[in-house]
């Protein structure tokens, strides 16, 4: 039996009551409760004071836990976050996301302090592409033009010609020189989608996001049969059979604008469940279904099968407060890497800022 619950901001999240009543393969969204409201507001007050004392800006990715999103100065996707990092006047950047995102902020602000609440907040895509292996592949073809998805290490960025995010990948690929052989690293699923979008052939690195490849076509088809009016909104890190079902394929930021402007009232969201918080706040009166993911590591008794990125969820409000008090863990990078990795990021920001159809 479905029960509609109405969070404070007015949007509706469809929760299912009891495991036996779940329609086939519907993921139940259980917001992670780690703090009492009193604890959360006490920590939030401390963070607000620290922000002023340090002249700090708190940047948070759309997958962060709700209480971090609520205290952040900006919440967005990888593109929005790098644009914010490029223009901030703060002295300290508190980056609530994963390691490669904080590194990008440091590369754009080598003179500033950049802290990450949990130093172990990594990314399976970043891990899949070691810089030495990329350098070896690049040696095999001097005509390669390397386009690196931002989900990679600073060392990989330093070996690349241009960076892209899921929000601008097609634009970046369309702007790549026509006489070059394009090499796309490290996400084979995003790369395959961009090839379809642009018609540009590329050599793809065989990496993927461990969380997004868990989404399966069969469970989404069953969900669609139960909710025929719902729009299916899919992140391009998902596999092709899942992307083929989508009404919209987009970055996390475009998911928000799509759900805001689309007249549909129900949406199945095929990405990390943290984004549901913003969707609920910014789309009053609409219903969001968290797409089910198969996660072999999840306890079999846990009725929630929503997708969570274990790395994104390493950050907590307490760790945000602690990293501001200690100014650690801090992102530090060797000067030559900082200088070389900046070039492809700046190229991305420049291409991204071009008016549409300027290429
Ligand atoms: P977005 O840039 O779309 O927010 O994606 C980042 C990410 O890590 C997706 O898994
Ligand atoms: Fe990396 Fe996937 Fe987590 Fe995004 S969701 S940070 S791609 S592991």
Q: Name every residue whose Cβ is closer than 8 Å to that of residue 341 and which is 6 or more positions away in sequence.
A: 107, 154, 155, 157, 158, 333
**Do 139 and 95 have their domain in common?**
no
Q: Name every residue whose Cβ is closer than 8 Å to that of residue 274 and which is 6 or more positions away in sequence.
A: 61, 62, 63, 64, 65, 66, 69, 308, 309, 312, 313
Span from the CA of 120 to the centroid of ligand 1 (angstroms): 18
Interaxial angle between packed helices 37-54 and 317-326, expressed in degrees from 0 to 180 and rounded to the nearest 10: 30
Q: Which residue would you say has higher pLDDT here, 17 or 341? A: 341
In this structure, the residue with its CA closest to atom 6 of ligand 1 is 78
Cα dist. 315→122, 152, 197, 222, 326 in Å?
11, 19, 34, 33, 15
**Do 203 and 220 have their domain in common?**
no
**Do 24 and 66 have their domain in common?**
no
Hey, which of 83, 124, 151, 269 would you mutate to test ligand 1's pocket, going by the most ligand atoms within 8 Å of its Cβ?
Answer: 151
Hey, which of 60, 62, 168, 212 would you mutate to test ligand 1's pocket, going by the most ligand atoms within 8 Å of its Cβ?
Answer: 62
Q: What is the pLDDT of residue 34?
A: 73
Q: Name every residue whose Cβ is closer than 8 Å to that of residue 87 and which is 6 or more positions away in sequence.
A: none
Structural domain includes residue 239: yes
CA atoms within 13 A on the CB side of 151: 32
Q: What is the pLDDT of residue 235?
A: 98
Can you tell me which atom of ligand 1 is nearest the CA of 255? 3
Q: What is the pLDDT of residue 35?
A: 86
**Do 171 and 320 have their domain in common?**
no
Q: What is the pLDDT of residue 292?
A: 84
Number of domains in the chain: 3
Which ligand is the nearest neighbour of the Cα of 308?
2
**Do 53 and 88 have their domain in common?**
yes
Structural domain includes residue 359: no
Indicate whether 31 pLDDT > 60: no
Mean pLDDT within 196-207: 98
In this structure, the residue with its CA closest to atom 3 of ligand 2 is 309
**Do 344 and 196 have their domain in common?**
yes
In this structure, the residue with its CA closest to atom 1 of ligand 2 is 123
Which ligand is the nearest neighbour of the Cα of 165?
1
**Lowest mean pLDDT across 30-34, 42-46, 157-161:** 30-34
Structural domain includes residue 358: no
**Do 220 and 275 have their domain in common?**
yes
Tens digits of residue pLDDT in 165-189: 999 999 999 999 999 999 999 999 9
Can you tell me which atom of ligand 1 is nearest the CA of 77? 4
Indicate whether 7 pLDDT > 50: no
**Do 105 and 19 have their domain in common?**
no
Range of the domain at 20: 2-30+212-308
Structural domain includes residue 243: yes
Tens digits of residue pLDDT in 231-263: 999 999 999 999 999 999 999 999 999 999 999
Structural domain includes residue 196: yes
pLDDT above 90: percentage of residues in the chain = 84
Span from the CA of 359 to the centroid of ligand 2 (angstroms): 30
**Do 96 and 233 have their domain in common?**
no
In this structure, the residue with its CA closest to atom 8 of ligand 1 is 151
Q: Tell me 10's DSSP state.
A: S
Indicate whether 3 pLDDT > 50: no
Structural domain includes residue 186: yes
As a whole number of angstroms, the distance between CA 136 and CA 148 comes to 15
pTM comes to 0.89
At 346, the pLDDT band (50, 70, 90 cuts) reads very high
Structural domain includes residue 150: yes
Indicate whether 27 pLDDT > 50: no
In this structure, the residue with its CA closest to atom 7 of ligand 2 is 209
Tens digits of residue pLDDT in 293-343: 865 555 555 556 678 999 999 999 999 999 999 999 999 999 999 999 999
Indicate whether 30 pLDDT > 50: no
């Amino acid at each position: 039996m479905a029960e509609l619950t109405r969070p404070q901001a007015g949007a509706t999240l469809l929760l299912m009551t009891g495991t036996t009543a779940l329609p086939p393969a519907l993921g139940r969204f259980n917001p992670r409760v780690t703090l009492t409201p009193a604890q959360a507001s006490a920590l939030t007050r401390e963070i607000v004071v620290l922000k002023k004392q340090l002249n700090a800006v708190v940047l948070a990715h759309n997958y962060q836990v709700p209480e971090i999103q609520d205290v952040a100065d900006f919440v967005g996707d990888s593109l929005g976050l790098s644009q914010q990092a490029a223009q901030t006047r703060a002295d300290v950047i508190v980056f609530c996301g994963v390691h490669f995102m904080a590194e990008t902020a440091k590369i754009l602000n080598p003179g500033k302090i950049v802290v990450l609440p949990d130093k172990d907040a990594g990314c399976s895509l970043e891990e899949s592409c070691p810089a030495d292996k990329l350098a070896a592949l690049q040696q095999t073809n001097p005509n390669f033009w390397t386009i690196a998805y931002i989900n990679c290490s600073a060392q990989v960025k330093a070996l690349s010609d241009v960076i892209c995010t899921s929000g601008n990948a097609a634009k970046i690929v369309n702007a790549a020189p026509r006489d070059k052989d394009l090499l796309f690293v490290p996400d084979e699923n995003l790369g395959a989608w961009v090839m379809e979008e642009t018609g540009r052939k590329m050599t793809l690195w065989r990496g993927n996001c461990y969380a997004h490849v868990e989404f399966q076509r069969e469970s989404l088809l069953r969900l669609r049969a139960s909710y025929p009016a719902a729009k299916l909104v899919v992140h391009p890190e998902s596999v092709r059979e899942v992307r083929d079902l989508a009404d919209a394929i987009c970055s996390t930021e475009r998911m928000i604008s799509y759900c805001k402007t689309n007249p549909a009232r129900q949406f199945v969201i095929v990405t990390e469940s943290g984004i549901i918080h913003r969707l609920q706040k910014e789309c009053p009166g609409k219903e969001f279904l968290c797409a089910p993911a198969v996660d072999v590591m999840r306890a079999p008794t846990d009725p929630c099968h929503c997708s969570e990125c274990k790395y994104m969820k390493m950050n907590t409000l307490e760790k945000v407060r602690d990293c501001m008090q200690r100014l650690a863990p801090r992102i530090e990078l060797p000067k030559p890497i900082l200088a070389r990795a900046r070039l492809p990021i700046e190229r991305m920001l420049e291409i991204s800022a071009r008016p549409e159809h300027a290429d």
